[in-house]
């Protein structure tokens, strides 16, 4: 179950790649630097698109790591351009896909410390359901909303990503 949940979050996170392709096409059509969109936000007090990717990345790789008994790889949060954002996406996905399903065997009994609650822990199942999944989806949705607000032609299928239909 844990590996499947991380795989689903990884697919959601990968929707950023399609969004970035569409952002580039939009910027080319409108003749502006696509990197402007990396710093766009929905509201003045909200973090920009770039932060949404970084945060989704952090929650995803942390979930994959902590639930499989590892430490998450550290990424520097120094991305500024669309190419650097793409590289961040690839590094994150490479890590999550490198975690073998058997490494999640003890996921529910993992005890995870979070920096913002000193002296407290959260158990694996609650970490997955209350922190990893909702935060990955929140930040992917906010990234989608930022680009949509800026006129990028993204839609629900870009958010959902590929669906594995089979013949009836």
Q: Where are the domains of the chain?
A: 2-160
CATH of 2-160, one of 1.20.1420.30, 3.40.718.10, 1.10.10.10, 1.20.120.450: 1.20.120.450
Beta-strand ranges (E) seen in 82-125 are 111-113, 121-123
Taking every pair of Cα atoms in the chain, the longest distance, rounded to a whole number of angstroms, is 53
Residue 140 makes CB contacts below 8 A (sequence gap 6+) with 12, 13, 15, 16, 52, 56, 159
Q: What is the pTM of this model?
A: 0.94
> What's the pLDDT score for residue 86?
97
> What's the pLDDT score for residue 115?
86
Compute the distance between CA of residue 76 and CA of residue 78 in angstroms, rounded to an integer: 5
β 121-123/111-113 pair status? antiparallel
> What's the pLDDT score for residue 163?
87
Q: How many Cβ atoms are within 10 Å of 64's Cβ, its own excluded?
A: 28
Which residues on neighbouring strands pair with residue 121, listed in sequence order?
113
Q: Could you tell me the sign of the dihedral formed by the alpha carbons of 114, 69, 106, 7, in that order? A: positive
> What's the pLDDT score for residue 162?
85
Residues in the chain, pLDDT under 70: none
Tokens for 42, please give them. Answer: 């929905």
């Amino acid at each position: 179950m844990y590996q499947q949940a991380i795989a689903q979050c990884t697919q959601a996170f990968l929707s950023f790649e399609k969004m970035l392709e569409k952002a580039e096409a939009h910027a080319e059509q409108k003749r502006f630097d696509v990197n402007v969109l990396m710093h766009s936000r929905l509201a003045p007090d909200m973090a920009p698109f770039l932060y949404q990717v970084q945060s989704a990345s952090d929650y995803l790789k942390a979930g994959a790591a902590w639930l499989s008994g590892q430490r998450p790889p550290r990424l520097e949060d120094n991305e500024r351009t669309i190419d650097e954002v793409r590289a961040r996406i690839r590094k994150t996905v490479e890590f999550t896909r490198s975690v073998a399903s058997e490494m999640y065997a003890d996921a529910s009994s993992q005890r995870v410390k979070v920096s913002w609650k000193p002296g407290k822990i959260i158990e694996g199942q609650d970490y997955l359901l209350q922190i990893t999944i909702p935060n990955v989806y929140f930040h992917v949705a906010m990234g989608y909303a930022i680009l949509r607000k800026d006129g990028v032609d993204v839609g629900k299928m870009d958010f959902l990503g590929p669906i594995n239909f089979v013949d009836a």
